[in-house]
């Protein structure tokens, strides 16, 4: 019985830390919306969004303990998402 309580604690530790980090980042994002940073608000909130996505990928998708194939697939998906955003933003910026 004593060994199972330790397993129970380690089972919940990662998701609770990820959840608390996501809540803290959401609060920071909300707080930054009220700061007069001008165009810096977009940059700050995009950085916060990237950190949130990294927390989700590493802890909740368990890429930290994933196999090599799972990491390659996740990296490929990230590459294509970045590629599509670059194409979209270049089209948006090239128009008058």
Query: What pLDDT, in 10s, does the model give residues 75-91?
Result: 999 899 899 989 998 98
Nearest to residue 14, comparing CAs of 56, 51, 48?
Answer: 56
H/E stretch holding 29: helix 2-33
The ranges assigned to domains in the chain are 1-64, 66-96
Which pairs from 19-22 meet CB under 8 Å and 24+ separation?
21/55, 22/52, 22/55, 22/56
Please tell me the total number of residues recorded for the chain in this structure.
Answer: 96
Query: What pLDDT, in 10s, does the model give residues 1-42?
Result: 455 666 777 778 888 889 999 999 999 999 998 989 888 888
Q: What is the pTM of this model?
A: 0.71
pLDDT at 5: 61
Query: What pLDDT, in 10s, does the model give residues 36-67?
Result: 988 888 889 989 999 999 999 888 888 888 89
Question: Which residue matches tokens 């990296």?
Answer: 75
């Amino acid at each position: 019985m004593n060994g199972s309580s330790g397993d129970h604690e380690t089972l919940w530790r990662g998701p609770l830390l990820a959840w608390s980090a996501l809540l803290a980042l959401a609060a920071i994002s909300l707080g930054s919306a009220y700061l007069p940073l001008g165009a810096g608000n977009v940059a700050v909130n995009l950085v916060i969004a990237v950190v949130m996505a990294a927390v989700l990928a590493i802890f909740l998708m368990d890429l930290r303990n994933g196999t090599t194939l799972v990491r390659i697939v996740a990296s490929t998906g990230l590459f294509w998402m970045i590629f599509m955003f670059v194409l979209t933003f270049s089209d948006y910026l090239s128009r008058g």
